[in-house]
Amino acid sequence: MKENKQHNIFRVMVFASFDAKGIVHDYVLSYLHKMSALCNKIVFIADNETTEEQKLKLSGLVDYMQFEKHGEYDFGSYKRGFIWLKKQDWFDKIDEIVFCNDSCFSVGEFKPVFDVMNDRKCDFWGMTENADHKKHLQSFFWVFKKNVFNNEVFERFINSIKHEDNFMDIVLNYEVPLTEYLEQKGFVSDAYIKGIYSPHQYPVTTLRKKMPLIKKKAFCVAEKILDSYSLEGIIDLFREIKKVSPDDYADIVNYFDQKPLHIIIRYVFKRNLYRIRRFLFQKKITRKGNLIVKICKIPVYYRKEKS
């Protein structure tokens, strides 16, 4: 059992992972190593199969690993990790459960964040909050305290997770409503970075606020949704990462398997291509559910949500 000396808190992490090639990347190992200093147990659940060679990378680092295609995205992995935890004879000892995933690179250390959040009066918290659709804590990093995860309303929510046809359905059915759902049951939420930030669009800002995570989407590389890129400039982002942690900088460069200059060129090309496409044609669903279609930024179609 790993020893977590931080305020004598027995903390467990459920880490959700997916890689189409079944690779356990160096940035994931770095993330797990950092969190192992704060967690007594680490549960690693992957939504893919892999080889014995890749599993060996996790040996001695995680307490349980599962590689199985389930098609329920990160929430399906969170569910499977929680179900496994419930079966362990030491489950009652757990004070906090962390749900996090491999959609982020870790940059810097997590301990300062936990030191801050341990002093705040809340029942569950996240790294950031978001206002898309409605205000909520974002699911790439959640922490739930005992009174939350021991409550039947939490378990009911976790057990309701099922296969959805696309990622956005996962967001709308699970990520967005969970904060409000728990708050309505009387639990208090909080965010490490207060105020509404999209961490993939403002990674330099969040790094300077000491958030130790950067969304992979910020680099706009191999992403289907091209409006997820950093709005603060890729060069500034690389500079900030290197200043905070040269080792994490190396992991990020290794992940993309390209020199930083090549990543920057590809980022700029994709970003500008997206802007051109968005200028020529834009189809958008507003927060109120109304549909707007624009051509060359001129609205040509509007459909109001049915009441």
Place of tokens 């190396």: 250
CA count, 13 A, side-chain hemisphere, 297: 3
CB atoms within 10 A of CB 299: 11
Give the pLDDT of residue 182.
Answer: 96
8 A C-beta contact, residue 232 and residue 202:
yes
Query: Measured between alpha carbons, how far is residue 138 from residues 16, 26, 104, 275 in Å?
Result: 14, 24, 12, 26
8 A C-beta contact, residue 61 and residue 36:
yes
Give me the CATH topology for the region 1-196. Answer: Spore Coat Polysaccharide Biosynthesis Protein SpsA; Chain A (3.90.550)
Per-10-residue mean pLDDT for the chain, 307 residues long?
A: 64 97 97 97 98 98 98 96 98 98 97 96 95 87 98 95 85 87 96 83 92 90 52 87 95 84 68 69 72 85 70
**Residue 110 DSSP label:** S
Q: Calculate the CA 128 to chain-centre distance.
A: 10
Domain with CATH 3.90.550.10 in the chain: 1-196
Give the pLDDT of residue 304.
Answer: 76
Confidence (pTM) = 0.84
8 A C-beta contact, residue 2 and residue 30:
no
Give the pLDDT of residue 121.
Answer: 95
